């Protein structure tokens, strides 16, 4: 009898574990789900002009040696999650002074880069944490409408 109670509890715990794992998977979102605000992208624009534009260009188009942050930039990062881009910018950029900007500033710059690639904005700011659940899809996922 006791053994069966323990067994039943174990099964319950396992089922709960699977359910929460599924919940985690289904809470994944996309960069197309309005993950930053216009105000944030505007702050990012100012920061970008100060720290990035002299290499990547005011229009983000790059040069022969310096990669663009628009156009082929999107398919290049597609399939990753937004934390990969954020971590790269935070640790490797600006190239001549890596890691010079704080987390908030880098989140603002990432918001500006998304805006520059015509990714829609929304009412909630992009936070430096929680970026792992945001898929970087170069095209809007077809099967799901953009969350308002």
Binding residues (CB under 6 A) for ligand HEC: these are 51-52, 54-56, 66-67, 69, 73, 76, 88-89, 93-96, 101, 109
Nearer to ligand HEC, 11 or 103 (CB): 103
Nearer to ligand HEC, 118 or 123 (CB): 118
Smallest separation (angstroms) from ligand HEC to the CB of 90? 9
Nearer to ligand HEC, 80 or 146 (CB): 80
Smallest separation (angstroms) from ligand HEC to the CB of 81? 14
Structural contact between residues 84 and 136, judged by C-beta atoms closer than 8 angstroms: yes
For the purposes of burial, counting CB atoms within 10 Å of the CB of 109, is it exposed (0-12), middle (13-18) or buried (19 or more)?
buried
Smallest separation (angstroms) from ligand HEC to the CB of 135? 17
Structural contact between residues 77 and 138, judged by C-beta atoms closer than 8 angstroms: yes
Nearer to ligand HEC, 88 or 122 (CB): 88
Query: DSSP letter string over 80-115?
Result: SBHHHHHHHHHHH-STTSTT-S-HHHHHHHHHHHHH
């Amino acid at each position: 009898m006791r053994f069966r109670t323990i067994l039943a509890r174990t099964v319950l715990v396992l089922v709960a574990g699977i359910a929460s794992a599924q919940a985690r998977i289904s809470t994944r979102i996309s960069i197309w789900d309005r993950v930053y605000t216009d105000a944030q992208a505007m702050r990012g624009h100012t920061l970008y002009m100060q720290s990035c534009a002299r290499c990547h260009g005011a229009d983000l188009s790059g040069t022969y040696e310096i990669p663009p942050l628009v156009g082929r930039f999107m398919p290049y990062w597609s399939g990753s999650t937004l934390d990969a881009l954020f971590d790269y910018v935070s640790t490797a950029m600006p190239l001549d002074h890596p890691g010079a900007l704080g987390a908030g500033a880098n989140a603002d710059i990432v918001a500006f880069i998304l805006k520059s690639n015509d990714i829609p904005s929304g009412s909630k700011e992009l936070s430096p944490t929680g970026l792992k659940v945001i898929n970087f899809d170069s095209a809007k996922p077809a099967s799901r409408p953009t969350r308002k």
